[in-house]
A and B are shown apart, each in its own frame.
Chain A
Amino acid sequence: MVRHARSATSPVVKAAVAVLLGVAIIGALWVPIYAHTEPKLGAFPFFYWYQLILVPVTAILCWISYLLLRTKPARQHRRAPQAAGRDREGMWR
């Protein structure tokens, strides 16, 4: 059995999530931003420490997006009967 989350995500939230995740992807994809030796962090060329720092940054951006998109559990409707034939799942906890 499944329930359907209330699809009440506002366009503003969706746009915000798109920007957050877009920043993470572009940050990794746009190689000329970080293909430099300087500035170094300790012995690490920029190329390496930039990417290593982008990892936790991406995690944080994903977490913020998760919080923004989280919907309140809403029990709406049960599955339509005609679809039940394919439902071999039983119950889920």
Chain B
Amino acid sequence: MNHLDGVALTVVVVSFLIVTCIGFAAARWRPAEDPMHLNEWGLGGRGFGTFVSWFLLGGDIYTAYTFIAVPALVYAVGAAGFYALSYTIMVWPIVFVFAPRLWSVARARGYVSPGEFVRGRHGSQGLGLAVAATGILATMPYIALQLVGIESVLTVLGVGGSSGNVFVRDLPLILAFAVVSAYTYLAGLRAPALIAFVKDSLIYVTVIVAILVIPARIGGWGHIFGVASAHLSSVNPATGKPYGNLVVLPAGQWAYATLALGSALALFVYPHAATGVLAAKRRDVIRRNAAMLPAYTLVLGLIALFGYMARAVPAVNEGVKAGHGNAQLSVPLLFSSMFPSWFAGVADAAIIIGALVPAAVMSIAAANLFTRTIYKELFRPYASPAEETRVARLASLLMKVGALGFALELNKTFSINLQLLGGIWILQTFPAVVIGLYTRWFHRAALILGWAAGMAYGTVEAYQTSGGGQAHFGGSAAPVFGHTTYIAITALIVNLAVSAVMTVVFRRFGLQDGYDETRRADYTADAEPAPAAVAPAAGGTRTPRTPDPLGRR
């Protein structure tokens, strides 16, 4: 399977070069008077309307998780992998409810990350730090998942993979990542926002063509489900149990539901999702997008079905076996065995670019968190906007290096576990961020203790879970009271319980509350609709934008 496909590889390389040009050109897209400001580098000028936001959020939230990890899981275990569809269905009503409030308070107070909101809302530097550190920690395995996705495409293309030397093997991946880091460094969020147009177009074209062409070529959906059912009910020699099921059995339903719910709640507190949301121009943009982004959920559902299609193609099964049972090769192998070379190249490019866009946004989001909540808060309270931007740029580079470490260290058999591991951690910031949007009932110190309890419990449980051939961090669901449950949910319950109990205790002892710098009206604030000729007040360094002669935005 490692023969080099010249035509497909050429298409991929050309696409990558085009995207690279777009990435660098993005620095000049919607130019700001003062690009050295975190609102510009980190949030693209906070001026994206419904249309751009749709592409950016879609490109940001549907990642290699969607294109590689989910179909790989479906390929291997069947219906259980469809929890991702359930997750991306319920995530939009959840975003619809919470995100406009976060957007408003961030706009009113100039926050660029959830960490700053938590610090300001609860009047607690420690809690802000906890949220920022968790965001950075949880984002790393998620970026690593993007790397694993790119790697699996490259392997099928015959690039790398064949050498025993780690450096040579991963060279194309490192090279691609270095290029992305360069234009992210230069253009900030504008780069992934502009590239998202290419990504989303390629993905939609690929999925529509695949759904129209592949089932007809391999004998129709009846055959696809038939083969999948036969495989899933056969016994896995490694475990002595069937591989999986075509429909989730009652025993697996609790895990299915908690994985979906936990992932959906976690998504909104992930820094990269918050970055995409905060970059919107108006409050309405978010709600409209919550109603329009399910188009991408449909794409996720169809891509998940690729897992079954791949099972019905003997060449794919052989390829996966030759790749040491790496199910993540199934989708790229499906493309290479079902499409002519040039279109397989287009589809592979879709996946690679599809992984690069979220990787860029994630590193920017983590950089924003680091700069405003850690660097500025702890080391340089009076850092100028230009200094903030310089620090954020460097931090985005460091994030990518850290993610490489994650990608090389952890098990890749089911890269989906990287995302689930991140979810366990990030969900522990839910009480401080999301509940904080509504109430300050929880005491700030209690929230820190709850967070610490949730993090400790979640990490220990995940560490003790074996699976995929490794003893630790092998899975993300563990039995609780006889039900297999996504650890993130159990840890969140521990977190909430500790927070609530300690709140009562601290209030009883009269421990002082933090100062809330936000005001009630901040949570429903919206942008000024007309161009107002008001210069920013003290502390602001931006001058008003010059009107765009083309009348864009």
A residues contacting B by CB (< 8 A) are 1-5, 7, 21-22, 24-25, 27-32, 35-37, 42-48, 51-52, 54-56, 58-63, 65-66, 69-70, 73, 75, 79-80, 83-93
Q: In the docked arrangement, what's the CA distance between A45 and B79, Å?
A: 11
> With A3-B526, A92-B46, A93-B553 as given contacts, are A56 and B90 in contact (CB-CB < 8 Å)?
no
> With A29-B90, A43-B224, A66-B291 as given contacts, are A91 and B531 in contact (CB-CB < 8 Å)?
yes
Q: Does B89 contact A69, Cβ atoms closer than 8 Å?
A: no
B residues contacting A by CB (< 8 A) are 37, 39, 46-47, 79, 82, 85-87, 89-90, 92-94, 96-97, 104, 107-110, 220-222, 224-225, 246-250, 253, 256-257, 260-261, 281, 283-284, 287-288, 290-292, 294-295, 297-298, 301-302, 305, 385, 517, 519, 521-522, 524-545, 553
Contacts of B93 in A (CB 8 A): 21-22, 24-25, 58, 61-62
Q: Does B526 contact A4, Cβ atoms closer than 8 Å?
A: yes
Q: In the docked arrangement, what's the CA distance between A60 and B291, Å?
A: 7
> B220 is contacted by which of A43, A46, A87 (Cβ under 8 Å)?
A43
* Chain A residue at minimal CB-CB distance from B82: A51
Q: Does A86 contact B109, Cβ atoms closer than 8 Å?
A: yes
Q: In the docked arrangement, what's the CA distance between A30 and B541, Å?
A: 51
Q: Does A51 contact B89, Cβ atoms closer than 8 Å?
A: yes
Q: In the docked arrangement, what's the CA distance between A63 and B292, Å?
A: 8
* Chain B residue at minimal CB-CB distance from A62: B291
Q: In the docked arrangement, what's the CA distance between A42 and B92, Å?
A: 28
Contacts of A66 in B (CB 8 A): 96, 284, 287-288, 290-291
What distance in Å separates the Cβ of B368 from its nearest Cβ neighbour in chain A?
Answer: 13
Q: Does B291 contact A31, Cβ atoms closer than 8 Å?
A: no
> With A43-B225, A51-B89, A66-B291 as given contacts, are A21 and B97 in contact (CB-CB < 8 Å)?
yes
* Chain B residue at minimal CB-CB distance from A26: B90
Q: In the docked arrangement, what's the CA distance between A66 and B99, Å?
A: 13
Besides A85-B537, A93-B47, 13 more A-B contacts (Cβ < 8 Å) are A2-B527, A5-B524, A22-B93, A29-B257, A29-B260, A56-B298, A65-B287, A66-B290, A84-B538, A91-B532, A91-B545, A92-B47, A93-B531
* Chain A residue at minimal CB-CB distance from B525: A2
Contacts of B287 in A (CB 8 A): 62, 65-66, 69
Contacts of B543 in A (CB 8 A): 90
> B253 is contacted by which of A28, A32, A93 (Cβ under 8 Å)?
A32
What distance in Å separates the Cβ of A48 from its nearest Cβ neighbour in chain B?
Answer: 7
Chain B interface mostly: helix
> B92 is contacted by which of A3, A62, A93 (Cβ under 8 Å)?
A62
Q: Does A42 contact B536, Cβ atoms closer than 8 Å?
A: no
Q: Does B527 contact A92, Cβ atoms closer than 8 Å?
A: yes
Contacts of B519 in A (CB 8 A): 80, 83
Q: Does A88 contact B86, Cβ atoms closer than 8 Å?
A: no
What distance in Å separates the Cβ of A67 from its nearest Cβ neighbour in chain B?
Answer: 9
Contacts of A29 in B (CB 8 A): 86, 90, 257, 260-261
Contacts of A7 in B (CB 8 A): 524
* Chain A residue at minimal CB-CB distance from B544: A91
Q: In the docked arrangement, what's the CA distance between A56 and B248, Å?
A: 22
Q: Does A89 contact B538, Cβ atoms closer than 8 Å?
A: no
> With A4-B521, A35-B253, A48-B82 as given contacts, are A89 and B290 in contact (CB-CB < 8 Å)?
no
Q: In the docked arrangement, what's the CA distance between A28 and B553, Å?
A: 36
What distance in Å separates the Cβ of B487 from its nearest Cβ neighbour in chain A?
Answer: 18
What distance in Å separates the Cβ of B189 from its nearest Cβ neighbour in chain A?
Answer: 15
Q: Does A90 contact B89, Cβ atoms closer than 8 Å?
A: no
Q: Does A31 contact B253, Cβ atoms closer than 8 Å?
A: yes
Contacts of B527 in A (CB 8 A): 2-3, 92-93
What distance in Å separates the Cβ of B538 from its nearest Cβ neighbour in chain A?
Answer: 6
> A58 is contacted by which of B92, B385, B539 (Cβ under 8 Å)?
B92
Contacts of A56 in B (CB 8 A): 294, 298
* Chain B residue at minimal CB-CB distance from A69: B287
> With A58-B89, A62-B291, A84-B538 as given contacts, are A35 and B247 in contact (CB-CB < 8 Å)?
yes
22 pairs, A vs B, C-beta closer than 8 Å: A2-B107, A21-B93, A24-B92, A25-B93, A30-B257, A35-B79, A35-B253, A35-B256, A37-B246, A52-B85, A55-B298, A58-B89, A58-B92, A59-B295, A87-B109, A88-B539, A88-B540, A89-B46, A91-B531, A92-B281, A92-B527, A93-B281
